[in-house]
Amino acid sequence: MEIKEIVSYYFNSEANLVEVSFRTIEDDEDVVRIDTINYDVVESYGFDLVTESFDFFADDLDEEVYEEDEKIELDEDELITFLNEYYIVNPDSIPEPEFY
């Protein structure tokens, strides 16, 4: 099983969780797999997925509104690499395919 593509992801920094939707090379285009992984697990595998954010317009925004709307960007290539490694070590953790 190998990850083909990331469909979407969301990093909840308050809960320290990464929710990721992806497809494997075996999955059709109408299939997605969804998993939620504690970011501590990601770090224990030696990965730091959070990328630097360059917010040129941050000074123009109210800080409270900005923080609520801020999406933390992850390095998708590193996320795929992590997921492939994680599911090799934990094959029982591979989420079941869902049709959408």
User: Can you give the residue ranges of every domain in the chain?
Assistant: 3-94
CA-to-CA distance for 87 and 84, rounded, in angstroms?
5
H or E element: which one contains 79?
Answer: helix 76-89
- The candidate with the shortest Cα–Cα distance to 40, out of 65, 15, 21, 64, is 15
Residue pair 72/53 in contact (Cβ under 8 Å)? The answer is yes
Question: pLDDT for 21-75, tens place per residue?
Answer: 999 999 999 999 999 999 999 999 999 999 865 554 555 554 544 454 467 899 9
Model pLDDT for residues 60-74, shown as the tens digit of each residue: 554 544 454 467 899
Q: What is the DSSP letter of 90?
A: -
Q: Is 42 exposed, middle or buried (0-12, 13-18, 19+ CB in 10 A)?
A: buried
